[in-house]
Amino acid sequence: MLKTYAIRDSRVVETPGGPISVYLAPDEAERRFLVESCRIDEHTLSSALDPDELARLEFEPDHVAIIFKRPRNHSGQDGVMFKVASCGVFLFRDRMIVVQAEDLPLFEGKQFLRIASLPDILLKMINRSIFHFLEHLKIINTISTELEQKINQAMENRQLINLFGLEKSLVYYVASLNSNGTVIDKLKLNSAKIGFSPEEVEFLDDIIIENSQCNKQAEIYSNILAGLMDARVSIVSNNLNLLIKTLNIITIAIMVPTLVVSIFSMNVSLPIRDTNPVSFWAIMAMAGAALAVFMFFWWRKKW
């Protein structure tokens, strides 16, 4: 699907035949047009649609190809898995082509209220993806805290599986932010060749700092989650041991008086079977005394 945009009053607005073309999951005919008419490398085009592709920067004879990573919009169907997507930007002298596999928002937010040029749009798209990563990191941290509290109170495997899912998501985020950082550094080194203005170069310096901070935050969350995973597994095992211990106490506490009553229930002659009128209460007292002795022994041993 093709959408076209243009810069009007320092804003990006959708308009027919605009210089900014956005292809969403292009079909075979659109891919052929991009390869044959726009002279976009076929492998680079496929990389822009591959979520597992690393970010990179390539210079072609008549355009610059930039592939950067951005988070996918999270939905309830994904559970606790946070995934990433690739976005390809092909910057020509007088037009821009954006290719992505999903219909993810591109020109939303207050950052796109003041647009100066096509390279400015590229930088703000990358900057918007960094803020998107930061928003997801906050959500991941909140979910992780909630799962920790549930693990301390329960022994279900579901919470541990969710934690593994969060850890896997953070690994993908760290890898994506690292590759984005490489592309941003290359953009800075080739700023004159691409045609960035001095204001855009200054903005690029801010993007480098923000991406570095976001990357460090993702690494911290990933290391903490990975380091505490074994501790949480130990907590679950300890909770299971405490439960088994409690069940053993209950079982033995029931079995001790049952043994006394069973002895006097044997089908043989016993000393107080027919002579003592309070034999029933005597047997119950002996069973209670046996239980009390057992509980006292358990308490002294601190089991």
Domains in the chain with CATH codes: 2-239 (3.30.460.20), 240-301 (1.20.58)
What are 178's two structure tokens? 């690292």
Nearest to 259 by CA among 295, 288, 297: 288
Which amino acid is residue 173, in one-letter code? Y
**Residue carrying the six token digits 């096509």:** 118
Measured distance CA(37)–CA(3) in Å, rounded: 18
Measured distance CA(181)–CA(57) in Å, rounded: 11
Measured distance CA(148)–CA(239) in Å, rounded: 14
Give, for all 303 residues of the chain, the pLDDT tens digit.
888 988 888 888 888 888 999 999 889 999 999 998 889 989 999 988 988 888 999 998 888 999 999 998 876 666 778 889 999 999 998 899 999 988 877 888 777 888 888 898 999 999 999 999 999 999 888 888 887 777 666 656 677 778 788 888 888 999 999 999 999 999 999 888 888 888 989 999 999 999 999 999 999 988 888 777 777 667 767 777 888 888 887 887 777 778 777 766 766 566 666 656 666 677 777 778 877 877 777 777 665
pTM: 0.75
Measured distance CA(153)–CA(160) in Å, rounded: 13
Contacts of 23 (CB under 8 A, 6+ apart): 1, 2, 30, 34, 97, 98, 99, 100
Measured distance CA(209)–CA(4) in Å, rounded: 32
Nearest to 261 by CA among 233, 235, 291: 291
